[in-house]
Amino acid sequence: MPIIRIFRGTVLAGRESDWQDRVERLSLPWLMAQPGLVAHHPGRPMPGSGQRTFCMFMVWENIEAVERAFGPNWQATLVYHGDEQEMIESSSVEHFEAYGSV
C-alpha cells in the first residue's frame, strides 16, 4: 500500500531563502537517493502571501520504504543534513495510506 508523507515546516523570519537553498542542495539529493520513493514535491509559500511555511509531499512504495529511510521512529523523525533545524520555528510530519486508483 503506497504511503503519503507530508512534512510542513515554518521557517524563522528572514531565513526563507536559506531554507530553500538547503533543501535544494542537501535534502532533495538525499531524498531522491532513497529506495522506495515514488514521487516528491517540495512546496514553498505563495508569493506575496507573507507565509513562511514550506512543505514536502512524498509518496513511498510502502511503509517499509518509509521505515528504511527514516528509521524506527519514522512517525516523528525528520532528517536534517546541516543547520536546517536551526532555521525551523515549528514542524510536523503526517502519514496517510493512499487509496483509489494509485
**Host H or E run for residue 26:** none
Condensed to tens digits (0 to 9), the pLDDT of residues 6-32 reads 999 999 999 999 999 999 999 999 999
Q: Do 90 and 9 form a contact (C-beta atoms < 8 A)? A: yes
Condensed to tens digits (0 to 9), the pLDDT of residues 32-84 reads 999 999 999 999 999 999 999 999 999 999 999 999 999 999 998 777 776 77
Distance CA 80, CA 90 (A): 14
Where along the chain do its domains lie? Answer: 3-97
Strands (DSSP E) along 1-102, which ranges? 3-11, 37-43, 53-60, 88-97
Q: Do 3 and 100 form a contact (C-beta atoms < 8 A)? A: no
pTM, 2 dp: 0.90
- Other beta carbons within 10 angstroms of residue 42's beta carbon come to 16
Does domain 3-97 fall into CATH 3.30.70.100?
Answer: yes
Q: Report pLDDT for 85.
A: 76
Q: Report pLDDT for 102.
A: 59
Average confidence score pLDDT of the chain? 92
